[in-house]
């Protein structure tokens, strides 16, 4: 396998006597989906926060394409290509679908404020927004108000906003949360299509999705790696079954 695009080395994070991340080693390669699973409280969200720059580790380092980014802020990491989505959908309900994504395009532009031309009529912003919407299959809804979208479509819109920042690394925190079966299937197919273009770290509780899309799976328990490897090996690991899979069945 090629050199990791994103690598965590010995990440450690505690809150008083509670250890949330325990000497975590993790790597992520371009063109793969690496799933991170574990029971509630295992430290998955805390790990994602440290990788994205939202949280600072107490120890360890994070390397992006050979550059130590451990002390860089979340915006600085975003400009280098690390993008994160969250468990709870965060879109501008009163904006149209196109306007939501245009905001993300504008945020990454060299000049954020365009005093002469209103953003809604800026062809550069709209072109970038429509490109991202096309990637997630929402271009036909570009002029719809976000509040009118179904839940699954809002999750797709959020992913379009992430893609509009032109990332290299996608940190996706439970993108299937709250979806029905048809919506889960649509999002799963979308992730499979995106795999070849990005390095994707996926936190997900739906084991059917994990075993369908993941190239590798890492299991966290009490902030530490219990097991890591191919999904087939993880599925048959007795330690994993005892710690997580049987609990979630």
176 and 77 co-located in one domain: yes
Token code pair at residue 37: 């699973």
Instruction: Please provide residue 42's backbone torsions phi and psi, each rounded to the nearest 5 degrees.
Output: -75, -15
Among all chains, which residue has been given the structure tokens 């002029």?
143
Calpha distance 207→117 (Å, rounded):
47
Residue 55 belongs to domain spanning: 1-81+167-249
Q: Which of 120, 144, 166 delimits the end of a domain? A: 166
Say what the pLDDT of residue 116 is: 36
Cα torsion 225, 226, 232, 236 to 10°: value is -170
116 and 153 co-located in one domain: yes
Q: Which residues of the chain register pLDDT less than 50?
A: 112-113, 115-118, 249
Calpha distance 58→16 (Å, rounded):
12
Sheet of 6-15: strand order equals 18-28, 6-15, 59-64, 67-68
248 and 224 co-located in one domain: yes
Say what the pLDDT of residue 108 is: 73
Query: 147 in helix, strand or coil?
Result: helix
171 and 156 co-located in one domain: no
Say what the pLDDT of residue 249 is: 47
Token code pair at residue 62: 């994070």
161 and 171 co-located in one domain: no
Instruction: Please provide residue 14's backbone torsions phi and psi, each rounded to the nearest 5 degrees.
Output: -135, 155
Say what the pLDDT of residue 1 is: 52
67 and 186 co-located in one domain: yes
160 and 180 co-located in one domain: no
Q: Which of 142, 166, 190 delimits the end of a domain? A: 166
Say what the pLDDT of residue 88 is: 65
Instruction: Report the length, in residues, of the chain.
Output: 249
Token code pair at residue 93: 């309900």
**Angle ∠(154,183,50) on CA atoms, nearest 5:** 60
| DSSP H helices in the chain | 44-52, 74-80, 97-108, 123-136, 151-163, 181-194, 207-213, 231-236, 238-240, 246-248
33 and 72 co-located in one domain: yes
108 and 132 co-located in one domain: yes
The CATH number given to whatever domain includes residue 199 is 3.40.50.300
Token code pair at residue 79: 């400009």
pLDDT tens digits, 115-151:
434 455 677 788 889 999 999 999 999 999 999 999 9
76 and 188 co-located in one domain: yes
158 and 181 co-located in one domain: no
Sheet of 169-173: strand order equals 82-85, 169-173, 199-203, 33-37, 216-221, 224-229
Domain count, the chain: 2
67 and 107 co-located in one domain: no
Q: Which of 107, 137, 166 delimits the end of a domain? A: 166
Exposed / middle / buried, residue 33 (Cβ in 10 Å: 0-12, 13-18, 19+): buried
């Amino acid at each position: 396998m090629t050199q990791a695009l994103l690598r965590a080395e010995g990440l450690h994070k505690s809150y008083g006597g509670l250890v949330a991340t325990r000497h975590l080693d993790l790597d992520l390669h371009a063109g793969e989906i690496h799933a991170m699973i574990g029971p509630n409280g295992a430290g998955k969200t805390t790990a994602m926060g440290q990788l994205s720059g939202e949280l600072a580790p107490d120890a360890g380092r994070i390397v992006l394409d050979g550059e130590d980014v451990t002390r860089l802020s979340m915006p600085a990491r975003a400009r280098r290509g690390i993008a994160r989505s969250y468990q709870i959908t965060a879109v501008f309900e009163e904006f149209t679908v196109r306007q939501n994504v245009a905001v993300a395009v504008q945020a990454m532009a060299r000049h954020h404020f365009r005093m002469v031309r209103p953003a809604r009529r800026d062809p550069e912003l709209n072109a970038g927004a429509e490109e991202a919407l096309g990637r997630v299959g929402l271009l036909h809804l570009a002029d719809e108000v976000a509040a009118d979208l179904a839940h699954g479509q809002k999750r797709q819109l959020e992913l379009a906003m992430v893609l509009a920042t032109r990332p290299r690394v996608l940190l996706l925190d439970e993108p299937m949360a709250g979806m029905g079966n048809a919506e889960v299937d649509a999002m799963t197919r979308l992730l499979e299509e995106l795999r070849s273009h990005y390095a994707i770290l996926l936190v997900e509780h739906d084991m059917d999705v994990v075993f369908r899309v993941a190239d590798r799976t890492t299991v966290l328990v009490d902030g530490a790696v219990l097991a890591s490897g191919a999904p087939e090996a993880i599925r048959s690991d007795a330690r994993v079954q005892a710690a997580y899979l049987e609990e979630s069945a």
